[in-house]
Amino acid sequence: MSNPDRPDEARLDAQRCAIMDVGFPEIEWPTFSGLIVGLPWLTALVGLLPVALFAAGLGWLERDPSVDAFVSHDHPAWLAREMARETFGLEDPAIVVFAQEPGTSAFNAPTLAAVDRFTDEVATLDGVEPGVISIGSEKAILATASGDLEAPEIIDPYAIDPQASLTLYRQMPALAETLVSENEDALMVIVPVSDPNRAEEVTAAMRDLALEAAPPGVSVHMSGVATMNARLAEHIAGDTKIFLPAAFVVIGLFLLLALRRGQAIIGPIVVVIGSALSAVGAIGLIGSKYYLITTALPVVVMAIAVADSIHLTLAYQRARAQDPTGTRAQAMQAAIDKVALPIILTSVTTALGFAGLAIGSPMKPIADFGLVGAVGVMVACLLSLTVLPLIQLRLADLPPSVARAAILDNLLSRIARWSALRPGAALALSAVVVSGALAAASQVEFDYERRNYFTAGDDVLVADDLLAERFSGGNILDVIIDSGEDEGLLTADAVRQIVDLQRRLEAIPQIGKVTSYGDAIGLMHERLNAARPGALPDRTNAPAQYMFLYEASGDPEDFDAQLDFGRRYAMVRGYLENGEYSSTKPVIREVGAIVEDWSQQTGLKASLSGRMAVNDGWMDSLKASHPLTIGAAVLMVWLATFVLLRGFGPASVAMLPVLSGIVLLYAAMGLVGIDLAPATSMCAAIAAGLGVDFGIHLVQELRSKIARGQDLLAALSGNYVTVMRACFFSAVSLGAGFTVVALSETPVLRWFGLLIAFAALGSLFGALVLVPAIASVTSRKWSSTHA
Amino acid sequence: MHRIALIALSAVATASLSLGAAAQGTMTGDAIARNIAERPNADPRKGTITFVMQDKGRSRTRAARMLRTETGATHRLLLAFDTPASIRGTSFLSYDHKAASKVDETWLYLPATSRTRRVPASDRADSFMGTELSYGDVKDSFIFGLADWTFSAGGRADNGRYILKGAAKSARIAREIGYGGFTAEVDPATWFPRSITFTDPAGKRLKTISVRKLEKVGASLTATDFTVTNHVTGRATVVTVSGLAKATGADDALFDPARLDRASGRMP
């Protein structure tokens, strides 16, 4: 098989190179391929039945757009937050702000009337829980000259008097920067909702109501976790509408480019639709939900599924071109014989990459994404080897003259030959690229900022900025206090200890404001006894009696957000200036230390809660599990490749492009400044499953030819180039498919799509260069040792 | 001529309807409400009243010795709290004046400050001492103000009680009393409402009062076991009165706000 035109050094005996293993058999699938082509109805049934079964799960699909879905429900911060939600009812509310132009007082009759009306009417909306808070619901705590307690409403709904309201508000320091902006130019309404994770309808109704109530010159801004979740749900709906048509167009175009005949793309389209339907249906079948990240699933599965179709169809077209006199059935059987094993191998490894997510990730949306992604990949494999051949042997024929893509094939062939002939240069180049990539990858950081889920200029971000600028911000950190017994927090000691904790927390520079029921007890003490400001009661039962007095004159529910019904639990709430994980981490650590110390001193139990603590908790989990998740995915892919290729060498060679793809992925994150957060943390595991496909196809084809006695350069020509072309189009259509995800309204999903597309292309070029280079290097070594 | 005929026709129709109603054992809403309002309620009473406030499976209990008297012009209610310990010695006194022109008065003595505080005049809709009862509920004492409501009869329930319905006469009244309407089951034997479901001024179901037990002191009936359930908050208050008896010879000085600090120790 030697070629006299080739230089001597190029005549490499590759029989014992790294990609070969002793006794490697040439696997043929004559019975299998004969059955597929010979029993079309049975084949179609076998292929379509699982699709029908999985698609049945579509009926049970349920959406959950919340960021909370990523939190393990047995995490201490989650449990504390759920307890706080149950007890105090103000976790993850919707926040509505009526804002005047900066510097213009919001204490004017129209704005006060609007806030008062909105406070009353929003409480009647379905999905709103009791306990709406604003200065329209709050009372001032005053004492008359004779020492009697008065609790007048800050806004008297029957006679709105802006000056009177302003005077009353200024008597209540705890309301500053929480319900009224620092400059008194914006008023906040906090609206607890029944289910912050499904608040689309109620927040839409709130917005309508607020816009209707707002007088001219007053803008309405909505924020809060419930609003953000509702906005994310809108993103999911919007993305779903865009993703599928865009994916069809993009994938269709690349299929057309690869298969070069309009009707030849019908079969692959059936495969991508069937596999995407199965993956999404599997969500319902396993009782999972359609999370934010799941929006990308159909596109991801479609992009992956198309690769198998390209390999089979190109193999069929090549078989037809090589034997134009043979029947279509014979050509299809030959194509199945050729690609069935690589398709199965690559599908199993890709599925295992997804399964790595299911095994390694503590976050349910990510784990479930892995599981149903694996289902989609395996269904694509099944359809590609059953339904697809039946369609393609009728629709995918090409005249021999157009069966080759001469320019692309020539380019790919040159890459393979250059790598084989200059393996040192190829490996050195790869080493330089990977080293540079490793340096860039070392810059990647774990971080999370909920703002990253929204595009700049999004209403939610505008509202969030307003909260940060004019109020204490919307980044809440709570400490839940448990006195151990009912009425236990209404003693003078308990109040003094709570206020002490409050002051210690306020001393942390990153914490803007801290509130608790101690504020109100202090005010009552001060005003009922003409005590100095800041003084606290020292008679044991005074707080209980002040509260009793307040209940006799005010609304007993006024303290529900700070003190529970049994007066056993209290909430101390801090407002952080920044919501970014990396910024809040040291603050939460410091607060944790203060709380622990305080708890030991006082004997009162205390636990961290609130949005910031929950975010911190699950980001810690993500950080701890990420290496495990990626490691599990890579190991499973390698093990599968090892078992299926039956050799350490070939499995390791097939994995090299994967590793280069993953390193490049992290490098891109480091260079662009993309944080490792829930969505982006999935990329490497998925990329591992995808990237190995190219290595497997190339290694399998190459060693198949070497096993037949061809030397390396001969093996790198002919059908190997067709496989390279199939890999190229697979990678490009895969990359294009993932790029569709970049059309998302959610920035993190855009990054997710672009990063996997980048990793897939990195793996492809790694495979194109590294497989021939390593085969060549190891052949030379063997030749020089045994010559 | 036509006018005379019309009047005659109306008279005949009214007479027929009244006869028909009497034949069926039904009454008009106004008549039922009047019977309730005329129920004797002036006997001085004493006992121990317990409020068990419930929320999501948790409860708080407050218990007080109660003394209730009525002068010609004013209902007076004195409560001396004994439970929980943190408010022991706290005394509550209210004057509910029958004359609409006079503002009701309330005082609270707090041992922790050693002073009697006047509690600001509360709206009838405001919560009574942190319970699910409103000041209006306490003041009305299971009587529907004839000036507040437009009544209608809803026939009889299966248990034979009259169904009385009320709608607040105006939006202003609805705001003041905190209720837009009610439906009550009224026992014809005692003219005591045994269950009342109120709606808020917007017409949404607000709360239900269910009376389980009545006791008589003199001619006056007192609900000694009833529950108030707030359908909006899910909270409930169970009110029981034990040891109900006629308060004979109650010292009038007990109802002096200036001596409220001593009331707890002198309650009969």
**A176: phi then psi, degrees, rounded to nearest 5:** -65, 135
A149 touches chain B (CB under 8 A): yes
Q: At residue B211, does pLDDT exceed 80?
A: yes
Q: At residue B5, does pLDDT exceed 60?
A: no
Q: Residue B52's pLDDT is what?
A: 96
Topology adopted by domain A93-223: Alpha-Beta Plaits (3.30.70)
Domain over A25-68+229-451+616-786 is classified CATH 1.20.1640.10? yes
A566 touches chain B (CB under 8 A): yes
B42 confidence band (pLDDT: 50, 70, 90): confident
Nearest to A202 by CA among A92, A116, A290, A115: A92
> C-alpha dihedral over A254, A256, A258, A260, to 10 degrees?
-160
As given in the structure block, the two tokens for residue B36 are 């309730």
d(CA A89, CA A114): 24
Nearest-CB residue to A148 (from B87, B117, B235): B117
Q: Residue B15's pLDDT is what?
A: 43
B205 touches chain A (CB under 8 A): no
**Whole-number mean pLDDT of chain B?**
86
Domain over B29-266 is classified CATH 2.50.20.10? yes
B127: closest CA of chain A, how far (Å):
6
Q: Residue B12's pLDDT is what?
A: 45
> C-alpha dihedral over A337, A339, A344, A350, to 10 degrees?
180
B85 touches chain A (CB under 8 A): yes
d(CA A434, CA A51): 41
Alpha-helical regions (H) of chain B: 2-24, 29-37, 135-140, 171-177, 260-266
Q: Where in chain A is the domain with CATH 3.30.70?
A: 93-223
B24: closest CA of chain A, how far (Å):
40
Nearest to B135 by CA among B92, B172, B82: B92
Q: Residue A400's pLDDT is what?
A: 56
Q: Residue A90's pLDDT is what?
A: 64
d(CA B125, CA B134): 5
Question: Is the Cβ pair B85, A541 closer than 8 Å?
Answer: yes
Q: At residue B162, does pLDDT exceed 90?
A: yes
Average pLDDT over residues B127-138: 88
A452: number of Cβ within 10 Å: 18
As given in the structure block, the two tokens for residue A284 are 């319902």
Q: What is the largest CA-CA distance in chain B?
A: 79
The DSSP secondary-structure symbol of A562 reads T
As given in the structure block, the two tokens for residue A398 are 């090409």
A129 touches chain B (CB under 8 A): no
Q: Considering Cα of B1, then B7, then B10, then B12, what sign does the dihedral take?
A: negative
Cα–chain center distance at A689: 18
Nearest to A230 by CA among A187, A280, A292, A284: A292
Q: Which residues fall within 8 angstroms of residue A237, CB to CB, at 6 or more apart?
A: none
Within 142-201 of B, beta carbons closer than 8 Å to A belong to none
Q: Which residues fall within 8 angstroms of residue A359, CB to CB, at 6 or more apart?
A: A367, A370, A629, A632, A636
B194: closest CA of chain A, how far (Å):
26
Instruction: Please list every residue in chain B whose beta carbon sits closer than 8 Å to the beta carbon of residue A567.
Output: 60
Q: Exposed, middle or buried, A657 (CB in 10 Å: 0-12/13-18/19+)?
A: buried
Coil, helix or strand for A444?
coil
The per-residue pLDDT for range B45-54, each reduced to its tens digit, is: 999 999 999 9
Partnered with residue A480 across adjacent β-strands are A571, A607
> Which of A142, A148, A568 to mutate to probe the B interface, most B CBs <10 Å?
A148
**A47: phi then psi, degrees, rounded to nearest 5:** -75, -40
Residues comprising chain B, all counted: 268
Average pLDDT over residues B132-137: 89
The per-residue pLDDT for range B247-256, each reduced to its tens digit, is: 887 788 889 9
A152 touches chain B (CB under 8 A): yes
> C-alpha dihedral over B212, B218, B220, B225, to 10 degrees?
-20
- Cα Rg for chain A, rounded, in angstroms? 33
Helix, strand counts (H, E) of chain A: 26, 11
Q: Where in chain A is the domain with CATH 1.20.1640.10?
A: 25-68+229-451+616-786
B66 touches chain A (CB under 8 A): no
Q: Residue A784's pLDDT is what?
A: 45
Stretches in chain A below the pLDDT threshold 50: 1-10, 22-25, 782-787
Q: Residue B193's pLDDT is what?
A: 96
The per-residue pLDDT for range B99-113, each reduced to its tens digit, is: 878 888 889 999 988
Q: At residue B189, does pLDDT exceed 50?
A: yes
d(CA A398, CA A377): 28
B125 touches chain A (CB under 8 A): no
The DSSP secondary-structure symbol of B219 reads T
The per-residue pLDDT for range A742-751, each reduced to its tens digit, is: 888 888 888 8
DSSP string, A621-683: HHHHHHHHHHHHHHHHHHHHHHHHHT-HHHHHHHHHHHHHHHHHHHHHHHHHT--B-HHHHTH
pTM, full prediction:
0.78
Q: Do strands A63-64 and A290-291 pair parallel, antiparallel, or not at all (unpaired)? A: parallel
Q: Residue A23's pLDDT is what?
A: 41
A553 touches chain B (CB under 8 A): yes
Nearest-CB residue to B129 (from A144, A487, A552): A552
As given in the structure block, the two tokens for residue B17 are 């309807």
Nearest-CB residue to A553 (from B59, B110, B120): B120
A544: closest CA of chain B, how far (Å):
6
Instruction: Please list every residue in chain A whose beta carbon sits closer than 8 Å to the beta carbon of residue B114.
Output: none
Q: Residue B2's pLDDT is what?
A: 47
